[in-house]
Structure 1
Amino acid sequence: MVRNAKRALSWSMAAVLWAGASLAADGPPVQEGFSTERLARIAPAMSREIEKGTVPGAVTLIARNGRIVHFEAHGFLDSAKTKPMTRDAVFRGFSMTKPFTAVAAIALMEQGRLGLRDPLAQYFPEFKDMKVYAELRDERGRTSRVTVPARRPILVWDLFRHTAGFTYGGSAPFPEMKEAYEKADIESLNGDLSNDEFVKRLAAIPLAYEPGTRWEYSVATDVLGLVVEKVAGKRLDIVLDEILFKPLRMTQTSFQLRPDQAARFADAYDADPLKADLWKLARSEQDPGKRYVHGGAGAVITAEDYFRFAQMVANGGELDGVRVLSRESVEFMLSNHIQGLEGAPTPTTGPGYGFGLGWGVRLDEGGAWIPGSKGDAMWAGAGGTSFTVDRKEGIVGIFLSAGPSTRQHTRFLFKNLLYGALVQ
């Protein structure tokens, strides 16, 4: 009887362990098309990176058809490697904030309160008569840079797809533009710029390129966030709370770290050369209202919360009975919007990607550094975070780490591991 009881307990435990898994013919267990044996490769791969000093730790999450098949914490929360990483660890989201702002803007568009063809100057007159840098060549073939009037106005569409002609100080294409951005503290790195001061200073700097002609990663999403504020009549973090965070039960996502989150706030290595400036830029513990709310970089996130957001996108705008966007709006956002333009999001996505309304979109099955599907969407944060939504395969993948200097390596490593485990 004891032996039978033990046998029953053994089978019962096995049933729990393999719940939801199916046995492929003459093969290992499979969950939602993912090999559990291959998913088990992720933890050792993360351990190797942690031992090499790539990142102190990470959280990895993979779901298919809305069901989480892998969710693990690896390594440590802190630079000294004294606090174990937890699955509910909080990370600086940086540019993984951009899709939040883009979705909120599209939600306002669905309400008839905002349009992609709207001139930016309709909301902020300071941008009405913008100047653009242009090269002038003399009779001896020597070139100099001058400014000329922009041929067309900046549109809201340009803010979504980074074709407004703005830039970031660290990646400015011209020395004089880099100097202007840094002198004006456009990204509010050294001071707390108000909305009005940000708009005033940005509008005074000539554009890098004619609006609508080139993809140039920039503060455009921060400007879009101010447009959302203007239309909604509320601060951006409050708008996002109402449109996204509360309806989707993203209880750990906000623009200010809460006291109860401090003990699980992930940190980068102190030796990371990018940490000091990026953490200073984020200022996640500070009330976001002290400066213009960074719609392109200001959120703090967790893996489970971001999964809920990404799954809403994967589902065509709906999650657990809550509809945020229409199916057609999601299709529109996940379409390439920079056809025929110069520039591409390659530094973030790798080759083979265009850009939609708020994120990179894959142009074809091939031509990239990593596996994926035509039309899959991804984006990443400067702190070491990334996500992917593959609607063709029904996949959502979330990778969170605090590793600014190694972020390109880790995001592609995770994606290779994710698709390497997909067998059905």
Structure 2
Amino acid sequence: MNTVQASRRTALAAGVSGIFAAAGSASAQAPATTTSGAQPRPITGSGDLVQGFSRERLARIRSALEREAERGSFPGCVVAVARNGQVVHMEAVGHQDAARTRPMPMDAIFLQASMTKPITSVAAMMLVEEGRMKLNDPITNWMPELANLKVEQRREGQPTEDVAPIRPILVHDLLRHTAGFIYSNSAPTPRLKELYEGHNIEASAGPITSDEMLRRLGTIPLAHQPGTMFHYSISTDVLGLLVERVSGQPLDRHFRERLLDPLGMRDTAWFVEPGKRGRLAEAPTTDPQTAPMWRAYRILENEAGLSYFRGGAGMVSTAADYLRFSQMLANGGVLDGQRYLAAPVVNFMMSNHIVGMGGNPSASTGPGYGFGLGFGVRLADGMGFSPGSPGDAMWAGAWGTSFTIDRAEGLVGILMAQGPSNRVQTRMLFKNLVYGAMAESRRVPT
């Protein structure tokens, strides 16, 4: 081993054991964990391997992401890779600001966009575990505002008409995006796009209370019959409002008490406090999506009591925080000796729940994925744009964040970046780099 390799190995070992404490700055993060919940072990491995990863190949991650920053995909990023509950690679690359004057800090705060969805889905399944609701419950049990929904029926060569739904929307539908709701930017007709935007359903034009949002949503036809089509949508925002009504708590308080504080996710929230704003990562000002998305997210305004908390899109977090959440799921629902979900429930969430339906999540995941309860779920070894294992779970956010949980390989990978227009490019690149660094597989070759 040469001097450079030895220096890198020493720095990485020190960084892994202390990174979570260092990342917290004003409020110390909880420590990293192994799968059993113990404190992290020093990096161990034979020769140039650490937990089956090649140290030399892990070093490729920085150079590849530096090239991505140079080409303008994002100013910088923070990445984390863990295997068997041990962090094997975690580093900050590039710059925090669009002007490239400040190095990216390890504790940078990133807008999560749709990586909020898995957190909301876990919170909902915790209530299911407690018997407070069931997946086959109609959501109108708690949301009477949606009792009179119609469905926009579109038939080639015939006029569009609004018809009655074939069955109620179930809790299950919200978790797997089969309720018939949409996002305005993926509306199948101009009429639905205009109704969603005109009624400010996604709160992108300004604050709207939860009760008012549901009242307005109840006047807009569904795009599909419930339970027939996967259509990525505001379903998880509605799920967040359902969690509020079932739990009797505002969503921010419920998350804080049940998930964020117990998991040590101290920088994960819908509102960035003034003292933390110096840690916000920026997206390129040249990215055409940056300005309109920033106006819609409003993370510098505490909208508690003024607007609904967007369970599908609104949170911010750090690599260290999201790594703890992901590791909990990779562990089968437990972290640091505290159980959040039963292992069979995690298995259930990471199974394909859209079998036999139209639509798929390929715009986010690439081909070869179905959808579980809050995640894209890989269906087979082939067909994907990047390596993985059947049953691996992943999701991503419109700002440029993404994660992968591959339980067959004991793997968790986190990419935190802010680059909306290049987000698919960077998430696939990151997955290729992570799997490409894995010299030893836990899976038996077939």
What range describes the TM-score normalised by the shorter chain of this pair? over 0.9
Is 2:336 the partner of 1:317?
Answer: no
2:80 corresponding residue in structure 1? 61
1:82 corresponding residue in structure 2? 101
Is 2:262 the partner of 1:230?
Answer: no
1:413 corresponding residue in structure 2? 429
1:183 corresponding residue in structure 2? 198
2:270 corresponding residue in structure 1? 255
1:46 corresponding residue in structure 2? 65
Shift of 1:16: 7.7
Give SS of 2:160's match: strand
Is 2:369 the partner of 1:353?
Answer: yes
- For residues 66-118 of structure 1, the C-alpha deviation after alignment (integer angstroms, 9 at most, x for no partner) is 10000010111111111110111000011000011100011011111011111
Shift of 1:15: 7.1
The 1:311/1:180 distance shift into structure 2, 3 A limit, reads: same
Identity, in percent, stands at 51
Give SS of 1:61's match: strand
Q: Distance in 2 between matches of 1:208 and 1:362?
A: 26
1:328 corresponding residue in structure 2? 344
Q: Letter of the aligned partner of 1:68 in structure 2?
A: V
1:339 corresponding residue in structure 2? 355
2:182 corresponding residue in structure 1? 167
Q: Letter of the aligned partner of 1:230 in structure 2?
A: R
Q: Distance in 2 between matches of 1:399 and 1:325?
A: 24
Is 2:296 the partner of 1:266?
Answer: no
| Gapped regions of structure 2 (runs ≥ 5) | 1-5, 14-41, 441-446
The 1:45/1:155 distance shift into structure 2, 3 A limit, reads: same
TM-score, normalized by length of structure 2?
A: 0.89
Q: Distance in 1 between matches of 2:9 and 2:405?
A: 32
Q: Letter of the aligned partner of 2:137 in structure 1?
A: D
Shift of 1:21: 3.5
Give SS of 1:392's match: coil
Contact 2:12 2:89 in 1 (8 A): no
Contact 1:312 1:318 in 2 (8 A): yes
Is 2:171 the partner of 1:156?
Answer: yes
Shift of 1:319: 0.4
1:395 corresponding residue in structure 2? 411
1:6 corresponding residue in structure 2? none
Contact 1:136 1:146 in 2 (8 A): no
The 1:288/1:324 distance shift into structure 2, 3 A limit, reads: farther
Give SS of 2:416's match: strand
Contact 1:50 1:56 in 2 (8 A): yes
Q: Distance in 2 between matches of 1:110 and 1:333?
A: 12
Shift of 1:129: 2.5
Is 2:215 the partner of 1:196?
Answer: no
Tell me how many residue pairs correspond in the alignment: 407
1:308 corresponding residue in structure 2? 324
The 1:15/1:128 distance shift into structure 2, 3 A limit, reads: closer
2:51 corresponding residue in structure 1? 32
Q: Letter of the aligned partner of 1:312 in structure 2?
A: M
Shift of 1:254: 1.2
Is 2:296 the partner of 1:281?
Answer: yes
Is 2:144 the partner of 1:125?
Answer: yes
Shift of 1:260: 2.3
Q: Which 4+ runs in 1 deviate beyond 4 A?
A: 11-19
Contact 1:225 1:295 in 2 (8 A): yes
| Gapped regions of structure 1 (runs ≥ 5) | 1-10
Shift of 1:13: 10
Is 2:233 the partner of 1:218?
Answer: yes
1:382 corresponding residue in structure 2? 398
Give SS of 2:116's match: helix
Contact 1:362 1:375 in 2 (8 A): yes
The 1:219/1:15 distance shift into structure 2, 3 A limit, reads: closer
1:5 corresponding residue in structure 2? none
2:115 corresponding residue in structure 1? 96
Give SS of 1:23's match: coil
